[in-house]
Amino acid sequence: MTTSKTSESSDTAPLLDLQSLVVAVRRRRRLWCSMALLGLLIGAAVAVLLPPPSTAVTKVLVAHQEDQPNDTGTLIRTDVALLGTTRIAGKALQSLKSPEKPEDFIRNYRGTGLTNNLLQIDVTGDSDAQAVARAKALADAFVADHVGRMQETATAEAQALLDQRDRMRDELAQVNKAIGDRSPGSDPKASASIESLFARRAELNSRIADFDQRAAEARTGTPKLIAGTQIVDAPHAVRHSLLSAAVTDAAIGLVLGLVLGLALAAVGTVVADRPVLRREIAANLGASVIAELRSVPRRSAGPWQRRRIRAARERLTATLVRTVRGSAEPVSLLELGCARSTSVIALDLADALAPDGPVVIIDGLPGLQLANLGQKPGGPTVVSGKSAADVSHEERRFGVGSVAPGAAWTALQYLGSQTVLVVRAGHSSAAWLHTVARQLADLSIPVIGVVLIDPDPRDRTDGTLWDGLHTALRGHNERLTRQNRTSQPRTERLPMWAARVPDSDQEAR
């Protein structure tokens, strides 16, 4: 039944736990806060160290012969494209008497169509005066080019109409000659031919008059368009506020840095796969979380924070004292990512057990953590792991060791036949937690419970495994089976109920 439950839970487990991801990203707030601050500073520095170039702006009213009320902006877009040609850029540079190439000058200005007939020109320069001069030269060059193109178009159209009129006049002359060569007669056919010639002459006279009128209209409409195309906003320099630019760039940098930091934190969390929730750590280790504790307080912690942490340590010590006193075999504290916190817990436990008699701590931590913390006169005796065999079994003892990568697994049996794991949340990957549970099970060292260091304060998940004995502690079960076969009396303490030891005013569960 337990195996089926485990398989069902693993099958229904989501590919990505959103709650765990949010908690892990929130725990890495130093990363994304630092990225946001870095983006803020970079944005402000860019505004100060790289100020925008001097810019001038002018507006030109452009009249088009083909203007229509329903125009979608095609004509003004054509004007913007024409503004960015080397012909207009060359004319502007020629009026400025500048040796700069038109191809390079094009990169320093930009045209924008505000409406169907209003064109804005933005020009940059080394100074405000140069930018204003460039804007005026560009506007004049564009107006002259536009007026010249309209005049050429009107002239070409009028000339085409006049050429057509001249052809009609030549044909009219031929018709008049044909009418003059005919003599009036009584022949009905001749009379009909003369009537057709007269009708043709009248048609030609009408068309000639029409071409004259259209040519005159083509020439007459051009001055109106020329007068309508003009500079309506004189070139002037654009004033830049350093404070406004710094605030804007800093805000943009802050947002970009925050987004980048959150993305890096999320990707790093998914890739590292380091459990942070109680239920994940309990499931991966196959043992219940019996207590939670903040890490050793720093000097910068406030008095109220130290008071809460001290109260939490006292509750945790009381829990461990009951566990050690109720166990017939030595108990060990094995750390994973929190050697200093484990040393402090071990010394507190030894002080609490001192009234019962001499206490010996077997120090299996790397770097002599217990020795470096210093000991009080009359305190517990601390021996190294090499001297564990010389400790008398009549003395109350417990070991302190490590299950971090690189630890000697075979030395854990000398620290205690059962253990309490002290694990820092988010320190190790899920794969390593599985490795720890498997190695301890192979060494027949049951895990009484897990003490979680630096838990997430908003974690409300359950860290109790009701079937923990059947899922992970196979070494513990195997040892019970062997002892039952030999009919040897055995006093074994089952894993404790999960008890939360908060570092705040929350109640313990």
CATH label of the domain that carries residue 424: 3.40.50.10710
- Write down the pLDDT at residue 159: 81
In a domain, 165, yes or no: yes
In a domain, 228, yes or no: yes
- Write down the pLDDT at residue 302: 59
Same domain, 350 and 280: yes
Same domain, 346 and 476: yes
Distance from C-alpha of 121 to C-alpha of 46, rounded to nearest angstrom: 26
Distance from C-alpha of 223 to C-alpha of 217, rounded to nearest angstrom: 11
Distance from C-alpha of 458 to C-alpha of 15, rounded to nearest angstrom: 22
- Write down the pLDDT at residue 39: 94
Which are the contacts of 99, defined by CB distance < 8 A and separation ≥ 6? none
Same domain, 58 and 126: yes
Neighbours of 406 (CB within 10 A): 6
In a domain, 341, yes or no: yes
Same domain, 304 and 212: no
- Write down the pLDDT at residue 493: 40
DSSP 245: H
Q: Are 157 and 218 within 8 A, CB to CB? A: yes
In a domain, 171, yes or no: yes
- Write down the pLDDT at residue 386: 66
Q: Are 444 and 490 within 8 A, CB to CB? A: no
In a domain, 247, yes or no: no
Same domain, 223 and 317: no
Same domain, 70 and 196: yes
Same domain, 315 and 432: yes
- Write down the pLDDT at residue 317: 87
3-state secondary structure string across 445-503: CCEEEEEEECCCCCCCCCCCCCCHHHHCCHHHHHHHHHHHHHCCCCCCCCCCCCCCCCC
Burial code (b: 16+ CB inside 10 Å, e: under 16) for 376-403 equals: eeeebebbebeebeebeeeebbbbbbbb
Same domain, 306 and 378: yes
- Write down the pLDDT at residue 465: 61
Positive or negative, the CA dihedral 401, 403, 405, 408 is positive
Same domain, 214 and 305: no
Report the side by side order of strands in the sheet with 54-61: 109-113, 118-125, 54-61, 230-237
Q: Which amino acid is at 464?
A: T
Q: Are 337 and 404 within 8 A, CB to CB? A: yes
Same domain, 187 and 109: yes
- Name the residue range of residue 228's domain: 54-237
Same domain, 293 and 409: yes
Strands, E assignment, 135-183: none
Positive or negative, the CA dihedral 175, 181, 184, 190 is negative
Q: Examine the fold and report which residue of 213, 237, 261 is the final residue of a domain before the chain moves on.
A: 237
Q: pTM value? A: 0.59
In a domain, 267, yes or no: no
- Write down the pLDDT at residue 378: 61
In a domain, 439, yes or no: yes
Neighbours of 249 (CB within 10 A): 20
Which are the contacts of 449, defined by CB distance < 8 A and separation ≥ 6? 287, 288, 289, 290, 291, 323, 420, 421, 495, 496, 498
- Write down the pLDDT at residue 96: 93
- Write down the pLDDT at residue 507: 35
**Number of domains composing the chain:** 2
| Cα distances (Å, whole numbers) of residue 314 to 165, 296, 304, 420, 490 | 113, 13, 15, 17, 31
Report the side by side order of strands in the sheet with 418-424: 289-293, 447-453, 418-424, 331-336, 396-402, 359-363, 381-384
Same domain, 198 and 323: no
Could you give phi then psi for residue 453, rounded to 5 degrees? -100, 140
Place of tokens 């700069």: 100
Positive or negative, the CA dihedral 80, 81, 84, 87 is negative
Q: Which two tokens stand for residue 128?
A: 């405000």
- Write down the pLDDT at residue 249: 92
Where the chain has pLDDT below 70, the residues are 1-16, 182-190, 218-221, 295-305, 368-379, 385-394, 463-509
Tally the C-alpha atoms within 13 A of residue 356's C-alpha that lie toward its C-beta: 15
Average pLDDT, rounded, for the chain: 79
In a domain, 260, yes or no: no
Q: Examine the fold and report which residue of 209, 237, 265 is the final residue of a domain before the chain moves on.
A: 237
